[in-house]
């Protein structure tokens, strides 16, 4: 029960887990941002300018300043013809799943470290009990030896040996106490508590021993969160290659704008002030000195690295 209660506190107090949860939320936000590329982008603009230009002749002087007011909206949307956006979404989703597995690995690591420290603390408790009993026994033995020495039955060497055994037992008991304090402080750090204000009571009851099977199926490896995270990073790197290759093809987009533009503010929202535009666009890089090819090569090398790690 004590260990179960401590494990529950790891979930909410451990700073490493909080950092892993923050990284998971970052990956989730990146995945949401990548998925937003499927939808159009809408923008609103409001502007007011005052400008003047020089006259065409020197004798005419300067032209009077003019005002210009505008109110409009623009929309743009990229057609995913080559699958670049889809592969970016796939890569972001795979990274999110890898981050989720990293969070599970961090949680499992903290729980395992806590369990190990707890059982080592209980072992130090048992050792301390044995050494305390030994100190009592050696103290009694010293008293008996001193009585025998006083009666002339034992020699001075016997008394010195009994004193040495007692001092050694007391030193060992002190070391056991120090070890227990170190394990207790380690547990305090794992549960996010200040070691000075954290304590675990000594338990005399025997600890139950878990029955672990000798042979386990190899498929259990797939349940390890670190292996699952490595596999998801392979998938993300593979999708990144597709996104980098699709970026070498032209980008087909559709843009539209509408609004009002007028030199007089009072006549801004009138029918003669309206304007609109709508049309597709096709943009392609003619020469980039191999930049996009290098990006594809980088993505392929990153995939090979992730495969080797997996």
Confidence of residue 253 (pLDDT cuts 50, 70, 90): very high
Confidence of residue 185 (pLDDT cuts 50, 70, 90): very high
Judged against a pLDDT cut of 80, whether residue 54 lies above it is answered with no
Judged against a pLDDT cut of 90, whether residue 191 lies above it is answered with no
For residue 42, what are the CA distances in angstroms to 3, 257, 265? 54, 10, 24
For 116-161, how does the pLDDT look when each residue is reduced to its tens digit (9 = 90+)?
Answer: 999 999 999 999 989 999 999 999 998 998 888 888 888 888 889 9
Q: What is the dihedral of CA 220, 226, 231, 234, to 10 degrees?
A: -160
Quick one: average pLDDT of 218-239? 93
Q: What is the spatial distance between Cα 130 and Cα 117, in angstroms, rounded to a whole number?
A: 20
Q: What is the spatial distance between Cα 236 and Cα 220, in angstroms, rounded to a whole number?
A: 23
Confidence of residue 55 (pLDDT cuts 50, 70, 90): low
Mean pLDDT of the chain: 89
Burial of 277 (0-12, 13-18, 19+ CB in 10 A): exposed
For 59-116, how does the pLDDT look when each residue is reduced to its tens digit (9 = 90+)?
Answer: 555 667 888 889 999 999 999 999 999 999 999 999 999 999 999 999 999 999 999 9
Q: What is the spatial distance between Cα 296 and Cα 247, in angstroms, rounded to a whole number?
A: 9
Cα 293 from chain centre? 31
Q: How many CA atoms lie within 13 A of 148 on its CB side?
A: 15
For residue 20, what are the CA distances in angstroms to 111, 186, 223, 270? 14, 20, 19, 56
The token pair at 281 is: 């666009």
Q: What is the spatial distance between Cα 32 and Cα 80, in angstroms, rounded to a whole number?
A: 17
φ, ψ of residue 64 to 5 degrees: the values are -65, 150
For residue 63, what are the CA distances in angstroms to 10, 58, 236? 74, 11, 61
Percent residues over pLDDT 90 in the chain? 55
| Helices marked H in 217-281 | 225-246
CB 31 within 8 A of CB 95: yes
For 275-303, how does the pLDDT look when each residue is reduced to its tens digit (9 = 90+)?
Answer: 999 999 999 888 889 999 999 999 999 99
Q: How many CA atoms lie within 13 A of 21 on its CB side?
A: 9
> What does the pLDDT read at residue 56?
53
Confidence of residue 194 (pLDDT cuts 50, 70, 90): confident
For residue 265, what are the CA distances in angstroms to 48, 70, 73, 218? 9, 9, 18, 76
> What does the pLDDT read at residue 61?
59
> What does the pLDDT read at residue 23?
93
């Amino acid at each position: 029960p004590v260990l179960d209660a401590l494990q529950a506190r790891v979930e909410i107090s451990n700073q490493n887990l909080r950092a892993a949860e923050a990284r998971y939320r970052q990956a989730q936000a990146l995945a949401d941002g990548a998925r937003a590329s499927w939808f159009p982008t809408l923008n609103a603009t409001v502007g007011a300018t005052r400008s003047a230009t020089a006259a065409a002749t020197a004798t005419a002087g300067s032209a009077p300043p003019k005002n210009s007011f505008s109110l409009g909206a623009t929309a743009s949307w990229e057609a995913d013809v080559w699958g670049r956006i889809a592969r970016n979404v796939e890569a972001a989703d795979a990274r999110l799943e890898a981050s989720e597995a990293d969070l599970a690995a961090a949680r499992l690591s903290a729980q395992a470290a806590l369990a190990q420290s707890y059982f080592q603390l209980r072992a130090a408790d048992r050792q301390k009990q044995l050494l305390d009993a030994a100190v009592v026994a050696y103290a009694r033995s010293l008293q008996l030896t001193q009585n025998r020495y006083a009666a002339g039955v034992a020699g001075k060497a016997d008394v010195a040996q009994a004193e040495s055994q007692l001092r050694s037992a007391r030193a060992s008991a002190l070391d056991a106490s120090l070890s227990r304090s170190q394990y207790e402080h380690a547990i305090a750090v794992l549960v996010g508590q200040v070691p000075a204000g954290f304590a675990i009571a000594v338990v005399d009851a025997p600890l139950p021993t878990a029955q672990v099977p000798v042979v386990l199926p190899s498929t259990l490896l797939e349940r390890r969160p670190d292996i699952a995270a490595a596999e998801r990073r392979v998938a993300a790197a593979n999708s990144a290659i597709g996104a980098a290759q699709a970026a070498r093809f032209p980008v087909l987009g559709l843009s539209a704008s509408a609004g009002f533009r007028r030199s007089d503010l009072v006549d801004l929202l009138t029918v003669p002030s309206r304007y609109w535009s709508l049309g597709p666009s096709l943009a392609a890089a003619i020469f980039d000195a191999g930049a996009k090819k290098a990006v594809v090569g980088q993505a392929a090398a990153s995939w090979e690295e992730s495969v080797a790690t997996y």
